[in-house]
């Protein structure tokens, strides 16, 4: 082979390598499209975010589904029958085993009074408000004690306003509400008193810019990997619970019960080095709260069957985390349980009254809980626009 031929092959190889590098470093076409599309359309068209922007890091099933979007508008006031009238009707018309992204668009400010189930066989569903600044509301009023068609109590699994069993669910700019009457403060926690607004048991779900409102057990974060971003969660007692592995990022957590917090029959025991392994990054359960704000009266923030790590968050002086409730309020603490830990949180009243000791994490201990890697999110969490982009 001549020297000139070898030189041409080398130049071609270098050019090919440069093209590959540029492809990996250039912004994705979806990011460029954000400048031309309306922001709300753009959010629904996002593929999963990746650490370096290259396709090999994406969830393969998700990437395939994002190539085709089908938009279903749910407008109860549409007289020409070009839209679905209920969310349930729209969900029922999604084929089982669909490999496309179905986007259910709700009308601005409309209240959809219905109970919604998105079954396991219907993955890749998005529910969004057409105008997140005037969000649609999905509301129902069952509790765990409500009697079902068989005359038996629904239980917590059957009482949620919206239940999502399927994988790859996205909600954007929607209010999920359970408006069952709240119990009196003295009996704020009761057996079968749960009134969840949203129940999540599929994996790889993203909740963005939503409001979740209920009473006891407002958010049933049952199982799976979940990313809850820039959302408000409001309830009375024990209102975020379950065995999911979830990252709550930039959320507003509001306790809406008056008076003293009631005792719960569950609470985690004080943290110790022997328990650290139970909240290890590889575990399948746990809640990580990052840069969140906790407001309201004293209230329990979780249960003893799931660890909770709070980082860079602010808690009102009357918010009492579960583990501290045992020290401050003599709540029952079982012999076994997971733990509660803090990293760089601001809670002046509690810090002044109790030496937190081992409940304070070092950076090395906290690091696995400080980003989307906690939920393996680099392959499936959608790329969301920056705040100033959302305002345009």
Q: Is 238 a catalytic residue?
A: yes
Q: What is the pLDDT of residue 392?
A: 31
Mean pLDDT score across all residues of the chain:
74
pLDDT at 386 over 50: no
Comparing CA positions, the residue from 390, 277, 383, 356 lying closest to residue 29 is 383
Comparing CA positions, the residue from 269, 237, 277, 274 lying closest to residue 253 is 237
Q: What is the pLDDT of residue 102?
A: 96
Q: Is residue 326 part of a domain?
A: no
Instruction: Tell me how far CA of residue 125 lies from CA of 53, 91, 117, 122, 170, in angstroms.
Output: 23, 9, 12, 7, 6
In this structure, of 89-103, 139-153, 202-216, 343-357, the range with the lowest mean pLDDT score is 343-357
> What is the pTM for the complete model shown?
0.77
pLDDT at 67 over 60: yes
Q: Is residue 359 part of a domain?
A: no
C-alpha–C-alpha distance, residues 318 and 342, integer Å: 17
C-alpha–C-alpha distance, residues 311 and 314, integer Å: 9
In this structure, of 92-96, 111-115, 117-121, 235-239, the range with the lowest mean pLDDT score is 235-239
CATH code at position 102: 2.160.20.10
Residues 6+ apart with CB under 8 A from 171: 126, 127, 128, 205, 206, 207, 208, 210
Q: Is residue 381 part of a domain?
A: yes
Q: What is the pLDDT of residue 191?
A: 64
**Catalytic residue from among 59, 142, 167, 238:** 238
Instruction: Tell me how far CA of residue 169 lies from CA of 4, 174, 191, 234, 323, in angstroms.
Output: 56, 13, 30, 21, 32
pLDDT at 247 over 70: yes
| Residue 110 banded pLDDT, cuts 50, 70, 90 | very high
pLDDT at 55 over 50: no
C-alpha–C-alpha distance, residues 318 and 1, integer Å: 80
Q: Is residue 23 part of a domain?
A: no
Q: Is residue 338 part of a domain?
A: no
If one counts the domains in the chain, the total is 1
Q: Is residue 202 part of a domain?
A: yes
pLDDT at 390 over 50: no
pLDDT at 56 over 50: no
The answer to whether 266 and 246 have CB atoms below 8 angstroms apart is: no
The answer to whether 315 and 289 have CB atoms below 8 angstroms apart is: no
Q: Is residue 321 part of a domain?
A: no
Q: What is the pLDDT of residue 384?
A: 65
Q: Work out the angle at residue 35's Cα, subtended by the Cα atoms of residues 29 and 36, and round it to the nearest 5 degrees.
A: 90
Q: Is residue 140 part of a domain?
A: yes
Domain that holds residue 127: 33-259+287-306+377-390
pLDDT at 274 over 60: no
Q: What is the pLDDT of residue 252?
A: 95
pLDDT at 177 over 80: yes
Helix H, strand E, coil C: the string for the chain is CCHHHHHHHHHHHHHHHHHHHHHHHCCCHHHHHCCCCCHHHHHHCCCECCCCCCHHHCCHHHHHHCCCEEEEEECCCCCCCCCECCHHHHHHCCCCCCCCEEEEEECCCCEEECCEEECCCCCCEEEEECCCCCCEEEEECCCCCCECCCCCECCHHHCCCEEECCCCCEEECEEEEECCCCCCHHHCCCCCCCCCCEEECCCCEEEECCEEECCCCCEEECCCEEEEECCEEEECCCCEECCCEEEEECCEEEECCCCCCCCCCCCCCCCCHHHHHHHCCCCCCEEEEECCEEEECCCCCCCCCCCEEEECCEECCCCCCHHHHHHHHCCCCCCCCCCEEEECCECHHHHHHCCCHHHECCHHHHHHHCCHHHHCHHHCCECCCCHHHHCC
Residues 6+ apart with CB under 8 A from 216: 183, 188, 189, 190, 193, 194, 195, 235, 236, 237, 238, 239
Q: What is the pLDDT of residue 335?
A: 37
């Amino acid at each position: 082979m001549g020297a000139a031929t070898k030189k041409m092959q080398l130049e071609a190889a270098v050019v090919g390598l440069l093209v590959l590098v540029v492809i990996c470093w250039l912004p994705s076409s979806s990011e460029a499209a954000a400048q031309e599309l309306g922001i709300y359309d753009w959010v629904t068209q996002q593929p999963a975010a990746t650490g370096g922007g290259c396709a090999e890091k994406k969830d393969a099933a998700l990437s395939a589904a994002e190539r085709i979007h089908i938009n279903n508008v749910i407008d109860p006031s549409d007289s020409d029958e070009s839209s679905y009238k209920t969310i349930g009707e729209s969900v029922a018309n999604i084929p089982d085993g669909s490999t496309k992204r179905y986007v259910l668009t709700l009308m601005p400010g409309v209240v959809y009074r219905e109970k919604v189930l998105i079954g396991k066989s219907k993955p890749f569903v998005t529910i969004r408000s057409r105008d997140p600044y005037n969000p649609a509301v999905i509301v129902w009023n069952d509790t765990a004690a409500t009697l079902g068609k068989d005359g038996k109590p629904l239980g917590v699994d059957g009482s949620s306003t919206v239940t999502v069993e399927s994988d790859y669910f996205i909600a954007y700019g929607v209010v999920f509400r359970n408006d069952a009457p709240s119990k009196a403060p003295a009996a704020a926690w009761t057996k079968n008193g749960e009134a969840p607004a949203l129940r999540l048991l599929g994996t790889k779900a993203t909740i963005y810019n939503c409001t979740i409102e209920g009473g006891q057990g407002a958010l049933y974060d049952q199982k799976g990997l979940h990313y809850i971003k820039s959302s408000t969660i409001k309830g009375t007692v024990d209102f975020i619970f379950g065995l999911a592995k979830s990252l709550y990022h930039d959320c507003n957590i509001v306790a809406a019960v008056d008076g003293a917090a009631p005792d719960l029959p569950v609470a985690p025991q004080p943290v110790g080095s022997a328990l650290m392994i139970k909240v290890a990054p590889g575990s399948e359960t746990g809640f990580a709260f990052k840069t969140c704000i906790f407001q309201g009266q004293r209230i329990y923030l979780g249960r003893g069957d799931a660890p909770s790590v709070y980082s860079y968050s602010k808690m009102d002086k009357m918010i009492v985390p579960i583990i501290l409730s045992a020290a401050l309020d003599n709540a029952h603490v079982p012999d076994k349980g997971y733990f509660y830990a803090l990293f760089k949180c601001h809670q002046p009243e509690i810090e002044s009254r109790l030496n937190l000791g081992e409940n304070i994490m070092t950076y090395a201990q906290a690091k696995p809980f400080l980003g989307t890697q906690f939920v393996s999110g680099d392959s499936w969490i959608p790329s969301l626009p920056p705040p100033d982009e959302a305002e345009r």
